[in-house]
Amino acid sequence: MSTSVVLPALGESVTEGTVTRWLKKVGDSVQADEGLLEISTDKVDTEIPSPVSGVIEEILVDEDETVEIGAVLAKIGDGSSAPAEEPAAEEPAAEESAADEPAADEPAQQEAPAASASAAPAASGDAKDVVLPELGESVTEGTVTRWLKQVGDDVAVDEPLLEISTDKVDTEIPSPIAGTLTEILVQEDETVEVGAVLARVGSGAPAAPAEPAPAAPAEEKAPEPEAPKAEEPKAEEPTPAPAEAPKAEEPKPAATQAAEAAPVEDGVTYVTPLVRKLAQQHNVDLSTITGSGVGGRIRKEDVLKAAEAPKAEAAPAAATAAPAPAAVEVSPLRGTTQPMSRLRKVLASRAVESMQQTAQLTTVVEVDVTKLANYRDAVKASFLEKTGDKLSFLPFFALAAAEALKTFPVINSTVDGDKIVYPASENLSIAVDTERGLLTPVLRDAGDKNIAQIAHEIADLADRTRNNKLKPDELAGGTFTLTNTGSRGALFDTPVVFLPQSAILGTGVVVKRPGVVSVDGKDAISVRSYVYLALSYDHRVVDGADAARFLSAMKARLEAAQFEGQLGA
C-alpha cells in the first residue's frame, strides 16, 4: 500500500506553501520522520518529514511550485512488493522438494508461520509512531493542549489526533495512517521536544491476517500460501491461498484510506485545522457553510459569521423569553403637588436655621471592627435568646460614643448666647426614618447603661416612633445625635447638626475588604471588617482637634472590642 504525504498546517493564517527543495527522489528509501522536502511559507521555512518508513513511489509537486495546505506532495510505498518477487521465483523448487521429499514437511511447516509473521507488518503497516514534527524555524518543543481522539478511536489518514501549542504557532497533528489509536504517550499539558513520539496508531487490521497464519501449517501444503502472493499462476494450486490473500490486502488499498478520510470533513471542501477547531468551539456544522475562499474553501470569517447568525436570530426570542425584571414601584406622589406636612416644615426650618447660625464641618475616620464583628457573631444568638432583642452594631457604637462624650464633653455641649453649657448626662438622640419624616427620640443617660439596655431601648424607641406612639418629652432633651445611615447601605455622609446640639455622628455600613495587618512583625493582607464614622460639628465651639480626639477614642474602643463586662446578657 502507499501513504500520501500532505502539506500539514504550518500556523495560524498560513494557507499555502512553496516546495523549495526535495531532499529525496523517487526510488529512495526513507525512514519515518526523516526529512523529505523543504517548504517555504510567508511565516516559516521548515522540513516536511515522512509519515512512514518505505520507498518514495511518486513526487507530485515540483520544486518552486506552490500548493495549498492539505495538498498531496508525494506517495510512499511500504517496499514489501519488490523484495517478495525474488523469493517467489525459487518457490517452485521448494514445492518440488516438498513433493519429492515428504519428510521435509515438518521443517516447511515451521518456516511458514515465520514467513507469514514477517510479512504481516509489511502488508498491514502495523502500528506507526505519531511524532511531533518540526513546526517552524527555532521551534524545538511543543505542549500538548488537547487530545482530539482517545485510545481505541478509529482515525483516518490526516485526521487530526491532537492539538499542539508552541511559542510561535498552535496547530493540530494529523494521523499518518488510517487505523486505530492504540497508545497515547504524552498527556495533555505535557511539553516534549520536536521528534518525540506522541502516540501510536495501528493500521486497522494487522491482527486479523496474523491469527489465521499459524493455522496454515496444519495443512500438508503449508508452505504454499506464500506463493500466490508473489506468483499469481500458482494461485490455483493451494486452496487456502485465495482465502488468505484478500485478508492480507484489506488494509492496503489507498482507496480505502481515502474513504476513511472523507468523513473527517463531513463531505465539505478541505478546511485548515484552525478553521476546524474554530467550528468545534462555536458548535458550527461545517457541512452547512458555503465557503467564500478560493475554490469554495471555508475561511475563519465564514465560521464566525455562521456562529453569529443563530445568536442574532435568537436575540429577539431571548429578549422576550428572559425573565422580566421586578416591577418598578411607582409612588402615588409622582406627578403631583403636595403641601408640606407640619413635621416637614419644622425640619426644613430647623435645618436652614442650623446652617445659617452655625459653622459646620465634618471629620471622618475609618475603624477596623473585625474583632467587634467576630465578638458580635459569637454572642448574638445567645443574646437574642436571653433578651429577645437582635444584636446589631448600633448599640456598640452608641456605648462607645457615650463613653467618649464623658471624656470630651465639648462634643456634648450646647451654646447659650456667649456661654458653653456642658450637660451632666449623655442623652443620645437616635435618628429614626419614618413615613412622616425624620424623628429623633432620645436615649437618656446612655453613658450609664450596658449593651443589653441600649439595644432594648433603641429597638423600643424606633418601634414606637414608627407607630406614632411616642410621648412628646421622648423627643426632647437630646445632647448629641447618632444617625445610622449605614442601615441603608451608605458608606458615610456629612450629617447636619441641629441646634441646640453641637455635634452629630453618622455611622456607615460595615463592609469586608482586604486590609494590611501585622503578623509576627511583618505586614500581611487579610480580610477585614471596616466602618466609617463621620462627625459633623459646630466649629464655633468644637475645633478639628476636638473632633479628632473624640473619634480616635471611639476608634480605639471599637477596635479593642472589649465589651464582655458590659454586654448585660
CB 438 within 8 A of CB 432: yes
Distance CA 142, CA 132 (A): 8
Distance CA 471, CA 250 (A): 104
Give the distance from CA 253 to its chain's centroid: 45
What range defines the domain where residue 414 resides? 342-566
pLDDT at residue 539, as a whole number: 95
CA atoms within 13 A on the CB side of 150: 0
Q: Is residue 29 part of a domain?
A: no
pLDDT at residue 221, as a whole number: 42
Give the residue from 218, 247, 276 where a domain finishes.
247
Which residue out of 64, 167, 463, 543 is catalytically annotated? 543
Distance CA 516, CA 212 (A): 77
Give the residue from 247, 276, 294 where a domain finishes.
247
Q: Tell me: do 271 and 369 sit in the same domain.
A: no
Cβ atoms within 10 Å, residue 536: 25
For the question of residue 543 being annotated catalytic, the response is: yes
Q: Tell me: do 307 and 362 sit in the same domain.
A: no
Q: Tell me: do 289 and 429 sit in the same domain.
A: no
**Which residues touch 320 (CB under 8 Å, ≥6 apart)?**
none
Q: What is residue 501's DSSP assignment? A: B
pLDDT at residue 194, as a whole number: 84
Per-residue pLDDT of the chain (569 residues), as tens digits, is 678 888 888 766 678 888 888 899 898 988 887 888 888 776 667 788 888 888 998 999 998 888 888 888 998 887 554 443 344 444 443 343 333 444 434 433 443 333 333 333 333 356 888 888 877 666 788 888 889 999 989 988 888 888 887 765 667 888 888 889 999 999 988 888 888 899 988 865 544 444 444 444 444 444 444 444 444 444 444 444 444 444 444 443 433 343 333 334 455 555 666 677 778 888 888 888 887 765 677 877 788 888 887 766 666 655 556 677 888 888 888 899 989 887 888 889 999 999 999 999 999 999 999 999 999 999 999 999 999 999 999 999 999 999 999 999 999 999 988 999 999 999 999 999 988 888 999 999 999 999 999 999 999 999 999 988 888 788 889 999 999 988 888 999 999 999 999 999 999 999 999 999 888 888 999 999 999 999 999 999 999 999 999 999 999 999 999 999 999 87
For the question of residue 539 being annotated catalytic, the response is: yes
Q: Is residue 333 part of a domain?
A: no
Nearest in space to 301 (alpha carbons), one of 15, 311, 315, 293: 293
pLDDT at residue 468, as a whole number: 85
pLDDT at residue 409, as a whole number: 96
The string of DSSP codes covering 107-130 is: HHHHHHHHHHHHHHHHHH--EEEE
- The size of the chain, in residues, is 569
Q: Tell me: do 443 and 510 sit in the same domain.
A: yes
Residue 281 grid coordinates? 468551539
Distance CA 36, CA 48 (A): 6
Residue 361: its H or E element: strand 360-368
Single pTM value for the model: 0.46
CB 486 within 8 A of CB 509: yes
Distance CA 61, CA 73 (A): 5
Q: Tell me: do 242 and 109 sit in the same domain.
A: yes
Number of domains making up the chain: 3
Q: Tell me: do 353 and 495 sit in the same domain.
A: yes
Q: Tell me: do 281 and 240 sit in the same domain.
A: no
Q: Tell me: do 220 and 298 sit in the same domain.
A: no
Q: Tell me: do 439 and 527 sit in the same domain.
A: yes
Residue 408 grid coordinates? 470630651
Which residue out of 64, 105, 539, 546 is catalytically annotated? 539
Q: Is residue 218 part of a domain?
A: yes
Find the CATH number of the domain harbouring 271: 4.10.320.10
Q: Tell me: do 502 and 532 sit in the same domain.
A: yes
Find the distance separating the first CA and the last CA of the chain, reported in whole Å: 92
